[in-house]
Amino acid sequence: MQHKRSRIGAAALVIVTGLAAVAVGAGSGSGTAAAATVAKGAASYDPNAVLKMPLPTPQILDPVRAVNACDVNILSPIYDTLIRTDPKGKYIPGIAASWSAPDASTFVLKLRPNVKFSDGTALDAEAVKASITRGQTDPSSVVKTALSPISAVTVVDPTTVKLTLSKPVVGLMTSLFAGRAGMIVSPTAVTAAGTAFGTTAANAVGAGPYKMTTFQSQGDYASTAWKGYWDSKNRKLAGLKLTNTQGATAGYGPFITRLAQGEFDALSMKEADIAVARAQPNLVVKTGPSELMMQLMINYNKAPFDNKAVRQALEYAVDRPALVAAIAQNLGVPADGPLPPTSWAYNPALKGMYKYNPTKAKALLKKAGLDSVSFTASVPNTSLYVQLATAVQDMLKKSNINMTIRQVAGQDINTELYVKKTDPAGVTGWSEAADPGDFFNVKYASNGSNNAAVTAIPGLDDLLAQGAATTDQAKRAVAYKKAQKLIMDQAIEVPLYFAPAVTVASKKVQGIPKAYSTCVDANFVTPSISMKK
Amino acid sequence: MVLVRIAAAIPLMLVATFAVFALSVFLPGDAAQTLAGDGASQQRVAEIRHTLHLQDPLLQRYGNWLGNAVHGDLGTSLFSKTPVMHEIATRWSVSASLLLLAVIISFLIGVPAGILAAVYRGRPLDRASTFAATFGMAIPPFVLGIVLVIVFGVWLKWLPVGGYTPFAKSPVDWFRSLVLPAFALSGVLAATLARQLRGSLADVLDEEYIRTARAKGLRGSAVVLKHGLRMAAGPVASVMAVYIGRLIGGAVVVEAVFNLPGLGPFLVSSLLSRDLPVVLGIIPFTVLIVILLNLLAEVTRGLLDPRFARSAV
């Protein structure tokens, strides 16, 4: 969890799914929540159904102060976002009906008229400005760094907001406002609650499909549909009721049993307990690749990885499909590069680039003038990562590469790898941001906060800048595809596989997509979840 | 005397809280990295560290905390931004319900088992009780908990597998949600109680005044319950106080296994996230409970055995 490092390492990441966000469901169906029986061509659903799930519930219901990456899923039903992401990663309108980028340093958001927060306050340009400013200035803000390129927020008219950027990174604004920074909070509630905003059900006020009725930090969470929500035609549930899993200490078995007994409707879990779920005749189990990349992370500025041939040897020395079979119960997807095949910016040309080949690996070592290589890798001390590291260790040995495993506390892996940099490598997980721009800038740009090497790879910073300079997703994809090629040519990362996401639901739940992200950065839009009558 | 005992608890609290503070220095990492959010710059992390005074000297930080704590302000959680007192207040009743029920179950099992073993010492019933008690002491609460879940929750479906219903909402469901965890937690205490009581009561039953009572024609059960048990209970009470204190440690794990929203899992998650104000709030709270339990045991012993009360005062 918990409280776990939000983006890296913590196995708890795998727990959370986009289910809660899916439940928000601004879907393509056309059922109305009020009369609500039949969505066009779809089965009927119960407009009075409350979806009940066990989840790691947030510590605070504040988009800019809740620290865990997965908290966004649970915040999005309360706080609608300016921009939404569809299941394919395309940015589509949310509270903002449209947006434009007159130049690479200007971003203009055009809001829908007459949108209201659940407390009746108008969601206008002033409210958006107040929300963004709060993200930039709150002493506990987790989006302060992400919002730092915005130098001015101007209210042009009640439905138009203009952002002036200090750098040409307008391409990063769409994902930013499809995530926490785009979750607009009620200025009335913020003024009234002050620093207590988001600590109670009453003062956590947004413009999402549901409003809170019960909230305890890391405890019970209940929300209900409210009259006046701008997109109510796409809301198919009467509310959400979440029970905190507290990290599922005893595994998912007890939760699966409670689900099978009818206490819950749906659950997202780790693949380890999938057999238990599959054994239940009244449950539906779905799997798909997530955005949690299992990786052999290397610091390419430190010996022995300051040598390209050694790095490439490492790429050939890992048998990715074998790892998927051994560690992920054959449910994950071998990684060709740092993005999963489901990403809109995935480069298919990378497929099969580094097929397992110990002979080639040894030849590359020879080329570097070495018979063998030894190094130490930091590994989170949770069973999944220790198992993975041990399997990698065995594989590497066959190519004369000796890896020593040094276990560190799961929540400290980030600090170990990117701040202290004790070891030149790590075997860990990296939960990717929905937009490759955010993720690549942090991990591969020469000044990225999670680039341990802090050294420029010639041409890479330029490609990342190109990807950030436009909001045109097709143009951005071209730049990021080239960036992936360069990253893999230079072998500055050894992606292993994308961990599976597993969801289990009762047969009453309908509209669950096949593939899940372990963490979705915004409202997951279509198809929406609903419950059978 | 009670007041003196409570006063003596103050230095103990100081030592306990300072120890937590000092140990936190040895933990790798701090809350700042997590609080800064994903992809935050190191400047931002440093800024948060500065705001939270995480790099101030240890003694200064402890002094600040203590100054506020004596004024009743335990601070706010770094992550939930709610007062630590509030967080404890919303969770302690779950833990207290669990502990109370576990103690009651322990007595319901341990006392009859101990008495029977003492009365029939050396006979098969005694040996059976000894065997059961050894088993109870050896099996950790979480293992017993998982076994109970499988049998009563999954196979028989008599009781919920996990989760908690507040007493105010439904006393019946409250009881049902706590039976299995309380039973799992009570194993060690019930076994210890049975063994202690057997030993203590066996000694008493060999005393001359018991033989006199029997000679007077009193019935066997009256002798055991009226004369024997009263004398034997004193030493047992002292031992029990220590063991009930230990239950708190077991409760942390049992609450996690049964998904109970008590102080235990909250303490663990706060420790993992380095939410020091919360940890520092819960520790003195539990220290206080242990001290009060010990006090209660001494008072009980005094009431049962006037000789002990006099000597203690």
CB contact under 8 A, B272 and A2: yes
Structure tokens at A413: 């892996």
Last residue of a domain, one of B273, B291, B308: B273
Cα distance from B267 to chain A (closest Cα, Å)?
A: 11
- pLDDT of amino acid B248: 84
CB contact under 8 A, B77 and A220: no
Q: What does pLDDT average to over chain B?
A: 84
Asked whether residue B83 carries a pLDDT value surpassing 90, the answer given is: yes
Beta bridge partners, A505, equal A266, A284
Q: Which residues of A touch B163 (CB under 8 A)?
A: 243, 258, 263
Over the stretch B158-202, which tens digit does the pLDDT of each residue have? 998 888 988 889 999 999 999 999 999 998 889 988 988 888 888
Structure tokens at A167: 């750098």
- What's the ipTM? 0.80
Q: Tell whether B42 is covered by a domain.
A: yes
CB contact under 8 A, B44 and A144: yes
Q: Indicate the helix (H) or strand (E) that contains A473.
A: helix A473-490
The pLDDT-based confidence of B308 (bands split at 50, 70, 90) is low
Last residue of a domain, one of B24, B40, B70: B70
CB A466 within 8 A of CB A474: no
The domain spans of chain A are 12-248+508-531, 289-500
Q: Indicate the helix (H) or strand (E) that contains A314.
A: helix A308-317
Taking only the tens of pLDDT, chain A with its 533 residues reads 333 333 333 332 222 333 333 333 333 333 333 333 334 444 588 989 999 988 888 899 999 999 887 888 889 899 999 999 887 889 999 999 999 999 999 999 999 999 999 999 999 999 999 999 999 999 999 999 899 999 999 999 999 999 999 999 999 999 999 989 999 999 999 999 999 999 999 999 999 999 999 999 988 899 999 999 999 988 888 998 988 887 666 678 888 989 998 999 988 887 888 898 999 999 998 888 888 899 999 999 999 999 999 999 999 999 999 999 999 989 989 999 999 988 899 999 999 999 999 999 999 999 999 999 999 999 999 889 999 999 999 999 999 999 999 999 887 888 889 888 999 999 999 887 778 998 899 999 998 888 999 889 999 999 999 999 999 999 999 999 999 999 999 999 999 999 988 888 899 988 877 656 554 332 333 446 888 88
Cβ neighbors of B216 (< 8 A, separation 6 or more) are none
- pLDDT of amino acid A521: 30
CB contact under 8 A, B40 and A250: no
CB A104 within 8 A of CB A172: no
Which CATH number goes with the domain that contains B219? 1.10.3720.10
Nearest to A95 by CA among A173, A183, A165, A187: A183
Q: Tell whether B35 is covered by a domain.
A: yes
Mutate to test the interface with B, among A175, A249, A417 (most CBs of B within 10 A): A249
- pLDDT of amino acid A26: 34
Query: CA-nearest residue of chain A to B162?
Result: A254
CB contact under 8 A, B81 and A433: no
Query: CA-nearest residue of chain B to A420?
Result: B29
- pLDDT of amino acid B6: 72
Query: CA-nearest residue of chain A to B160?
Result: A258
CB contact under 8 A, A145 and B269: no
Do the strands A425-431 and A266-269 form a parallel or antiparallel pair, or are they unpaired?
A: unpaired
Residue range B114-122: mean pLDDT, rounded:
86
Q: Tell whether B81 is covered by a domain.
A: no
Q: Which residues of B touch A247 (CB under 8 A)?
A: 256, 265, 268-269
Q: Which of B33, B162, B268 sits opposite A254 (nearest CB)?
A: B162
Q: How far is the first Cα of chain A from the last one, in angstroms, to the nearest whole number?
A: 35
Q: Which residues of A touch B92 (CB under 8 A)?
A: none
- pLDDT of amino acid B180: 94
Residue range B229-242: mean pLDDT, rounded:
78
- Selected from 3.40.50.10800, 3.40.50.1820, 3.40.50.720, 3.40.190.10, the CATH number assigned to the domain covering A12-248+508-531 reads 3.40.190.10
Q: Which residues of B touch A256 (CB under 8 A)?
A: none
Q: Tell whether B310 is covered by a domain.
A: no
The amino acid that residue B83 corresponds to is P
Q: Tell whether B76 is covered by a domain.
A: no
Domain count, chain B: 2
Nearest to A95 by CA among A182, A162, A30: A182
Q: Which of A5, A67, A195 sits opposite B79 (nearest CB)?
A: A67
Query: CA-nearest residue of chain B to A409?
Result: B28
Mutate to test the interface with A, among B24, B27, B38, B84 (most CBs of A within 10 A): B38
Looking at the fold, whether B108 and B52 belong to one and the same domain comes out as: no
CB contact under 8 A, A415 and B265: no
Looking at the fold, whether B96 and B64 belong to one and the same domain comes out as: no
The amino acid that residue B176 corresponds to is R
Q: Indicate the helix (H) or strand (E) that contains B131.
A: helix B124-138
Do the strands A493-506 and A266-269 form a parallel or antiparallel pair, or are they unpaired?
A: antiparallel
Asked whether residue B234 carries a pLDDT value surpassing 80, the answer given is: no
Nearest to B58 by CA among B31, B24, B84, B30: B24
- pLDDT of amino acid A4: 33
Q: Tell whether B305 is covered by a domain.
A: no
CB B181 within 8 A of CB A254: no
Looking at the fold, whether B250 and B149 belong to one and the same domain comes out as: yes
Give this prediction's pTM.
0.85
Query: CA-nearest residue of chain B to A10?
Result: B272
Is the alpha carbon torsion for A507, A509, A513, A519 positive or negative? negative
Looking at the fold, whether B258 and B169 belong to one and the same domain comes out as: yes
Q: Tell whether B36 is covered by a domain.
A: yes
| Radius of gyration over every alpha carbon of chain A, rounded to an integer in angstroms | 23
Looking at the fold, whether B60 and B14 belong to one and the same domain comes out as: yes
Query: A with B: how many residue pairs have Cβ under 8 Å apart?
Result: 153
Looking at the fold, whether B51 and B161 belong to one and the same domain comes out as: no
Over the stretch B20-38, which tens digit does the pLDDT of each residue have? 888 887 777 778 888 887 7
Range of the domain at B185: 91-273
Cα distance from B281 to chain A (closest Cα, Å)?
A: 16
Looking at the fold, whether B168 and B205 belong to one and the same domain comes out as: yes
Structure tokens at A13: 């990441």
| A289-500: CATH topology | Dipeptide-binding Protein; domain 3 (3.10.105)
Looking at the fold, whether B61 and B143 belong to one and the same domain comes out as: no
